[in-house]
Amino acid sequence: MTDFLDTPQGRRIAYNLLKGKGTGIVFLGGFKSDMSGTKAMHLEHWARGQGRGFLRFDYSGHGDSSGAFEEGCIGDWFADAAAALTTLTEGPQILVGSSMGGWIALLLARAMPQRVAGLVTVAAAPDFSEQGFWAGFDDAQREAVMRDGRVEIPSEYSDEPNVITRRLIEDGRDHLVMNQSLVLPFPARFLQGTADEDVPVNWALELLDHAQGEDIRLTLVKGADHRFSSPECLGLIEDAVTELLR
């Protein structure tokens, strides 16, 4: 059953929390995604079978949470995740971050490593507002987003275009993780498909090279796309979480 958390910033966050024993799992979804996606629901079912706690939630402007998507930015969604993690869970958790959720998970790991028992990323997209959107804009798009505060680009997942705002771009620059030290003092597992057209494989390789820690591994899956939701891919996510729970 969906519950709601009122954050210190005045936003209302929808969440589902499964109680369990031992270290729990927190799922962090992607850009314009919600907590009812395939990976989140699959992991919740798996966690229930393992007797583990599991938290999934919608960032503000996503799913059933308050706010308009176009008004949000990385800093807002990071604050939503921090409020959910600190308020709704106890002790260190396994963070599972998908796409943008991988960036959010890395921000949480940097800000509060004591609350992270381990990290699993799936097609992580750290700094995507800068190295994805801004780097991919042509001169006209850059001028438009700075002048008008927004620009529309086609979406592969919806008939509606993605609206990229100046606030998203500028706030993203305040939350970059690839331009400074990134220490992960806990086990981390990065999963990446080679057929991902949204997050290039070289981003995963750069993250592996950039992150500092004693137990960090990258698994490349030939032919897997950005969704990473085939039965085989879902099994790999399970395996990664299981390994970190031992």
Structure tokens at 30: 């992607």
Q: Which residues pair with 229 in a beta bridge?
A: none
Helix (H) or strand (E) holding 62: none
Report d(CA 53, CA 18) in Å as an integer.
5
Catalytically annotated residue among 58, 171, 196, 198: 196
Q: How far is CA 90 from the centre of its chain?
A: 20
Contacts with 107 (C-beta within 8 Å, 6 or more apart), sequence order? 74, 78, 81, 175, 177
Answer whether 51's CB lies under 8 Å from 25's CB. no
Catalytically annotated residue among 42, 62, 175, 226: 226
Catalytically annotated residue among 99, 127, 129, 175: 99
Answer whether 113's CB lies under 8 Å from 187's CB. no
99 belongs to the catalytic site? yes
Alpha-carbon dihedral angle through residues 127, 128, 130, 134, given to the nearest 10 degrees: 180
User: Which residues are the active-site residues?
Assistant: 99, 196, 226
